[in-house]
Amino acid sequence: MRKFLVFLLAALTLVAFAEVKNPDTLVKLNLAGEPDTFDPHFAYDTASGEVLNSVYECLIEYVKESVTEMAPRLATQVPSIENGLIKDDGKTIIFPIREGVKFHNGAVLTPEDVEYSFERGLLFDPSGGPMWMLWEAMFGVFTLEDFVEEVVGKPYTELFDADTGEPLPEYKEALVKVYTDYIDPAIEVDGNNVVFHLKRPFGAFLSIVCHYGYWSSIINKEWSIAQGCWDGKADTWWKYHDLPKEDSPLYATAMGTGPFKVVEWDRAQQKVILERFDDYWAGPAKLKKVIIWNVGEWSTMKSMLEKGDADIAAVPTLYLDQV
């Protein structure tokens, strides 16, 4: 058997060949399952995150292996009290947005894209999803529906016609104001800055919007609306709230600013193919292609590794003695 490089990673072990068969393509094998969704505001699993973290980007990122030191990503500075980007005792946080960044479709990143990304996530807020973190950080509740009940004074489900799903006439104005009076003012565009207004200081806010928190990924507003996401209007947001997973317009499609773009999600083979984005703002990646493949069985994974058909694999420690 060929000599392997072994890297311990929690309950899994990453196993790779010492010699790379195709230096332009990385084939990575998994056993744990394929992505649950490509919607960054729905995804709450590592298989989805593995794809999304290569396709999308957040405002800031951790420095290498640190879990405390941060660096700019789509923002040009990490907000702090010292640089004046954290104000009002921590309740106002300002992100200057990097200029000249391109999305995979060629559109240029704008502060409005950043604003839309967070507002769409807050309004979509799927049950069991990750958006509770942003809701807690910004508004002190865990869900949109909790917030609506706090503002309107009645449970969310009682505000809608059970047959049509439309707001009852007496509550429609109040629902519109949930956006116009609370959510919209909480995330504002000021020139080339995006400003977050928190209900109270929240020490973990920067961690929530940091890279690898794919729930804080920046999506393109115009493209997302064209796919069928929230249209950006105050009097429609409830139509886009808590959709079933596969009804999300972003369930099986993704388009970000990251170093790789999605070429294909082969559901039958449980394989995702990513291709290098040559116009990536930080410079093209060295790899041309990445294939993430859930092979399902250890015997298949082992055979592919032995034949050189894969470069790296997430091997459960149960099978470590076989490699």
Per-residue pLDDT, averaged over 138-142, amounts to 99
Bigger pLDDT: 302 vs 209? 209
**pLDDT for the residue 281:** 99
**Does residue 214 sit in helix, strand or coil?**
helix
The architecture in CATH of the region 56-253 reads: Alpha-Beta Complex (3.90)
End-to-end CA distance of the chain: 8
**Alpha-carbon distances, residue 278 vs 23, 29, 102, 234, 312 (angstroms):** 17, 25, 10, 37, 24
8 A C-beta contact, residue 186 and residue 197: yes
Answer yes or no: is pLDDT of 94 > 60.
yes
Per-residue pLDDT, averaged over 151-169, amounts to 97
| 219 CA to centre of own chain | 9
b/e burial code for range 139-156 (CB count within 10 A of at least 16 → b): bebebbbbbbbebbeeeb
Q: pLDDT tens, 41-66?
A: 999 999 999 999 999 999 999 999 99
Answer yes or no: is pLDDT of 313 > 70.
yes
**Alpha-carbon distances, residue 54 vs 76, 133, 158, 249 (angstroms):** 19, 22, 41, 20
**pLDDT for the residue 21:** 66
**pLDDT for the residue 2:** 32
Alpha helices in 204-316 (DSSP H): 205-208, 221-227, 298-307
107: nearest Cα among 255, 259, 274, 289: 255
Strand partners, 92: 87, 197
Q: What is the C-alpha separation between 222 and 232, in angstroms, rounded? A: 10
Q: What is the C-alpha separation between 62 and 69, in angstroms, rounded? A: 6
Answer yes or no: is pLDDT of 8 > 70.
no
8 A C-beta contact, residue 115 and residue 99: no
